[in-house]
Every structure is written in C-alpha cells, then in structure tokens.
Amino acid sequence: METLRQRLRSIDQKGYKAYKAIEGTYRFPMFTLAIDHVQGDPFAEPSKVRVIVPRAKTALAAEWTNTKPRRVRCEDVLARRIHHALRQWPLRARGSGKSGLVLIDAPGQKVLERTAVQVADETITVCLSVGLPANGRRILAKEAEAIFFEQIPSVIERAVYGLREEDIRPAVELADQQHAIRRYLREHGLVAFVKNGAILPRESGVSDKPLQRGAVPFQSPPELEIAIPVPHRAEPIKGMGIRKGITLIVGGGYHGKSTLLQALEHGVYDHIAGDGREFVITDSGAVKIRAEDGRSVASVDISPLIGALPYGKETTQFSTENASGSTSQAASMIEMIEAGASAFLIDEDTSATNLLIRDARMQALVAKEAEPITPYIDKARQLFRDYGISTVLVVGGLGDYLDIADCVIKMEQYVPFDVTGEAKRIAAEMPSGRKAEGGESFGRIHERIPLPESLNSQKGKKAKAVARGRHVIQYGQTDLLLYALEQLVDDSQTRAIAAALLYMERKGWLDGKKTIRQLLDAIEEQWDRQGLGSVSFRKGNPGELARPRRFELAAALNRLRTLRCRQ
Ligand code: ADP
Ligand code: MG
C-alpha cells in the first residue's frame, strides 16, 4: 500500500506515460488492489483494476452461493451496490479526459452472469475502470491518491463489507423462484409463463424500465391459468402458461400484442424485483425471428422455406451479401434451428409478409412452380413435429393462420382472452381456400462447418475485435452489425461476443472440421467450466463482460461478412 503511495508521489506532475509505473499488486488493510492495465493517455479507455476482498469477512456465507443462479444473483447484488456507492461519491471532474472517473460495469433490469463482480469460495473480485487523473497530460498524483486511498476503500467498505443478510436474502429467494419456474416449464411442456399482475409495457421504446403510469397489469384468461409451486412462499404463483406447439397472439392494432411478445422475448433472462417482468419466464431456447434485409448469409440450406430462385439459383447452399426480407428471415430460421432453438417468437410487424403467407388468391394467380417460397404457415406444424420447435406468432391481419393454431390469445385493451374455440369455429365456417404447400416434413437441416479463414480480425498488422455499443462489433476489416438481435440486451454481452470470436480465432477452433453447433457447445462449456472471463486476453482483468446466449453468439457469427462455410 505504501509502495503505491510512494510511486504515485514520485510521478506527480510527470508526463502521463509515467503512470505505467503503478501497474502491480498492492496490499491494503481491507483488500488487495491489482492495477492490471494503465491507460495510455487521459482520453483513452480507462485503466483496469481489480479489488480482491477476502470473503470470510463479509456477510456472504457459503449457503448464499451454493447454486449457480444464486452465485450469479449475489454477484449482481454486489455490482449494483458498488455502482450505487460509486455514484454517491462526488463525481468531480478531476482534470482532463476521463480523469477521476471510477466505474463498474453495472447491470440494468436484467440479471446476467457478468465479470464485474466474481464471487469465489475464498474471495470476491471487483473489476473497476479508473480514469487516472491528469491536468492536460500531466499526472495529478494527489487526485489519484484520493481515488485509491479514499474513494475505493470507502466504496468497498460500504458496498461489500456493509452487505447484510437482509440485502442478499430477497434477491437469492427471487433467483430460486425464477429458477424453479424455468424448471417447471421444461418439465410440463410449456414455452412461457406470465404471472398475473406482471407489468409488461416499458417506459419508452428505448428504455427497459417499467411504464410508471397507466400500465394495465397482466391478468391470465381463466382457461390458460396455471399455478406453479415455488420455494420460499406457501402459495403457488398464478399466471398464464403458453404451451408448446403453435400459439397466436391476435388483436386490434395498439392493443398490446407486440408488448406481450417482447416481454416473452426478454423472459429468456431473469429480471430484478420491481421490474414488472420478474415472473415473466420464457424457455431459454426461445429466439426472436425477424426479417433483416441487407444482411449477409453464408451457405445456408434454406430450401425447406425457399426453393430455386430465378435463373436457377439454388438455395441448398444459399449465400448472399445482401439478403431480401424473406431470404434473410428464412436464413435466420434455419440458422437458429442449427443452433438448437426450442421456440420461434415472430411478430407480423417485423416479418416478411410473403414468408408468412400465400393466400388462396395468390395461389390461384401465381402457380406453386413459379413461387420459390413455401410460406411459414405450411411449415410451422412440421417444424414442431420434426424438430420440437414451437411458434409464438403475433398476427393482426393474417387470419389464415387460425387453421394451424393450437392456441389463440386475443389482446383487447391490453387484456388477454383465450379465443381458441371461437377461432376454430371461424376457421371451420369460413375456409381460407388455401392449399397446403408444405409437404409432410419440414426438411433436413444441413449443419455447416465454418472454414478457418472465416475469422480474420487482422486490420493491417493489428488484430481488431472491438464492441462499439450494443449493436456493432468492429471486426477486422468489417463492421459486424447486430441491430436485428432483439434479445441482445446488454453492451457487455456484445463485448463478450467480440471476445469469444477473437478467442476462437486465436485458439484455432475453426479447423474446418467443427460444426457451428460444436463451436457453440465448446464456448458454452468453456464459460461453464473456466468462467466467462476466460475468453478475454487481457492480463488478469477480464474486462466488462456479460454472458450472451448461444443464439446471439451464433447470430453474430452468422452475420460476419467473412464467414465461409461448407455443409
Ligand atoms: P400492438 O402490437 O397490438 O399494435 P403494442 O404492443 O405495440 O400494440 O402496444 C401499443 C402501445 O400500448 C404501446 O405504446 C405500449 O407501450 C402500450 N401498452 C401495451 N401494453 C400495455 C399495458 N398492459 N398497459 C399500458 N400500456 C400498454
Ligand atoms: Mg405490434
């Protein structure tokens, strides 16, 4: 500790580069401080430090972290507390650039496995970013001293040592309950659950926080209501269960269809207490599928949905730099089957109409032979039968879908009704006149093997794989665009995807033999066994990572413009 003080004093007023001298590990009374990486100048990415606290001196007893969901929850609680404590500290502008900033990669409404706080058997490791203070480019050592000797100790004292059992218990109990519901869904043939009283609408289109005023709480239709027993409370939790199979969400415009579907999309992740969606739980294999014209596609067999294109362009190994609405959506479907999805969440609003439907009149006007597309309405059932993949589909205008639905939920003034019986009656009384075009089976999925040259992060002499916000990864010579991934919910997930791509490249995982599915399995196993930070090449400090699902990682890989595959 005194070494750090001396080192700081000896570099006061020197040029910024002299800060390099403080890299190292220092013992403080309450913790160990590791200064892993010092930034090159005051405007660069802040410096990376770790604070390692002996767990024995905190309230975090072993029982609070005896399962994976519990451990992740405790890490989440600590990260939020540290973030809060850091914000209490007067955020003075102590000089130029990022001088004086002390940040933790704070979670939002969701609880994700992240590297910001890591609880192990003996230690709690906290990763912080510190903007080392300077005036212009001249080191302000006194200000740096205040950060390391006052601010960080006081924040750790308050947020980590000040943690009490009452702070942990409710969060861990919620984690246990959410976990129990996830297991219940798997064991009872359900895709999703929405608790009575849940608040689904968000504050705005760009906020993940609940709508504060005028939100109509969710109330299950009696026909679809189930009760799920959960730990830590006597009464089971009641709400709407969505069964496997094909479910439609119908209703007039602006009556809350997309809001329900979006809540289901986000329900693959756990939410914090007070979010309104803490008991909106969706099978973690549920994937949003949407149109995304302009994306690239690499050797995907989309023939189950789209047959030979004009001028004989085959679709068994379909590649393009610029997909259309329907081909992009078809490719995403096949890619997500390949990645192991359990359900597709689809909204008419963001779909290519011609991939969803060809009605009787179009069938009469345009012969099947002249239409490459087999619409999803003729494949959804086969998809469920052959691959066990359910569909939850929002439709406002496409009534032909009533023919294939197992369950129809109507949203009316934000209230759901079970109209399955009525829908079946209408379908029988008013036949669509369509001919089914889908055949007996969905069709084979050809798993792809990415070729080694697919991953090339070289830009000039340097490797480059950097996340720029949530939806862009600068990867080598190209920008990888992730705007269409609605279930990518945290910038730190994007960083983890960038790190995983770089990791697979450096480790030579793309050997021309492993399929995409095997690569996804391998990364997940690595994260499970070695930890999320193990894909990071930063020495000692894993940086700010949150765990993405395999589907978002697959989606990123599939959108790499350098991806080359064989089947
Ligand atoms: P649809 O997809 O049926 O056209 P949306 O789901 O987009 O409708 O909802 C329309 C508007 O209503 C949105 O602004 C949304 O935030 C709001 N909304 C949705 N559900 C509720 C609710 N339960 N309570 C209050 N407002 C809601
Ligand atoms: Mg809508």
Residue 519 is encoded by which pair of tokens?
């690569």
What are the DSSP calls for 47-111, one per residue? Answer: EEEEEEEEGGGSS--GGGGSSHHHHHHHHHHHHHHHHHHHHHS-----SSTTTT-EE-----SEE
pLDDT value at residue 429: 97
pLDDT value at residue 93: 57
Atom of ligand 1 nearest to the CA of 414: 23
Residue 296 is encoded by which pair of tokens?
């690239």
- C-beta 258 within 6 A of ligand 1: yes
Q: Nearest bound ligand to CA 256?
A: 1
- C-beta 277 within 6 A of ligand 1: no
What radius of gyration do the chain's Cα atoms show?
Answer: 26
Q: How far apart are CA 389 and CA 381, in angstroms?
A: 9
Residue 157 Cα distances to 24, 51, 58, 322, angstroms = 22, 12, 10, 54
- C-beta 414 within 6 A of ligand 1: yes
CATH 3.40.50.300 correct for 170-446: yes
Strands (E) in 290-360, as ranges, are 297-300, 318-320, 343-347
Cα of 427 from ligand 1 centre, angstroms: 27
Q: How far apart are CA 511 and CA 505, in angstroms?
A: 10
Cα of 260 from ligand 1 centre, angstroms: 8
Instruction: From 550, 564, 562, 559, select the one nearest 480 (Cα to Cα).
Output: 559
Atom 23 of ligand 1: nearest residue by CA position: 216
- C-beta 200 within 6 A of ligand 1: yes
Cα of 414 from ligand 1 centre, angstroms: 7
Strand-pair category, 47-54 with 32-37: antiparallel
CB 81 within 8 A of CB 104: no
Q: Which of 254, 260, 410 best tests ligand 1's pocket when mutated (most atoms within 8 Å of CB)?
A: 254
Q: What is the 3-state secondary structure (H, E, C) of 424-464?
A: HHHHHHCCCCCCCCCCCCCCCCCCCEECHHHCCCEECCEEC
Domain ranges in the chain? 2-163, 170-446, 449-566
pLDDT value at residue 460: 79
CB 196 within 8 A of CB 238: yes
Cα of 542 from ligand 1 centre, angstroms: 39
Q: How far apart are CA 375 and CA 359, in angstroms?
A: 10
Cα of 420 from ligand 1 centre, angstroms: 22
Cα of 349 from ligand 1 centre, angstroms: 13
CB 396 within 8 A of CB 260: no
- C-beta 537 within 6 A of ligand 1: no
Residue 515 is encoded by which pair of tokens?
């399929």
- C-beta 197 within 6 A of ligand 1: no
Q: Which of 259, 260, 394, 398 best tests ligand 1's pocket when mutated (most atoms within 8 Å of CB)?
A: 259
Atom of ligand 1 nearest to the CA of 394: 2
- What's the complex ipTM? 0.99
pLDDT value at residue 194: 98
- C-beta 254 within 6 A of ligand 1: yes
Atom of ligand 1 nearest to the CA of 411: 3
Cα of 332 from ligand 1 centre, angstroms: 27
Atom 11 of ligand 1: nearest residue by CA position: 254
For the chain, give me the number of helices (H) and strands (E)? 14, 29
pLDDT value at residue 97: 86
Atom 16 of ligand 1: nearest residue by CA position: 201
Cα of 88 from ligand 1 centre, angstroms: 36
pLDDT in tens, the chain (567 residues): 789 999 999 999 999 999 999 999 999 999 999 999 999 999 999 999 999 999 999 999 999 999 999 999 999 999 999 999 999 876 665 688 889 999 999 999 999 999 999 999 999 999 999 999 999 999 999 999 999 999 999 999 999 999 999 999 999 999 999 999 999 999 999 999 999 999 999 999 999 999 999 999 999 999 999 999 999 999 999 999 999 999 999 999 999 999 999 999 999 999 999 999 999 999 999 999 999 999 999 999 999 999 988 888 889 999 999 999 999 999 999 999 999 999 999 999 999 999 999 999 999 999 999 999 999 999 999 999 999 999 999 999 999 999 999 999 999 999 999 999 999 999 999 999 999 999 999 999 999 999 999 999 987 778 889 999 999 999 999 999 999 999 999 999 999 999 999 999 999 999 999 999 999 999 999 999 999 999 988 778 888 999 999 999 999 999 999 999 998
Atom of ligand 1 nearest to the CA of 349: 2
Show Cβ contacts of residue 217 under 8 Å, excluding neighbours closer than 6 positions.
196, 197, 198, 199
417, amino acid identity:
F
φ and ψ at residue 39, rounded to 5 degrees? -65, 155
- C-beta 215 within 6 A of ligand 1: yes
CB 47 within 8 A of CB 152: no
Sign of the CA dihedral with 528 first, then 346, 206, and 276 last: negative
- C-beta 350 within 6 A of ligand 1: no
- C-beta 426 within 6 A of ligand 1: no
| SS3 call for 185 | helix
CB 402 within 8 A of CB 329: no
Atom 15 of ligand 1: nearest residue by CA position: 201
Cα of 357 from ligand 2 centre, angstroms: 18
What value, to the nearest 5°, has the Cα angle with vertex 162 and ends 157 and 164? 160
pLDDT value at residue 309: 87
- C-beta 492 within 6 A of ligand 1: no
Longest CA–CA span in the chain (Å) reads 88
State the residue for tokens 């023939």: 303
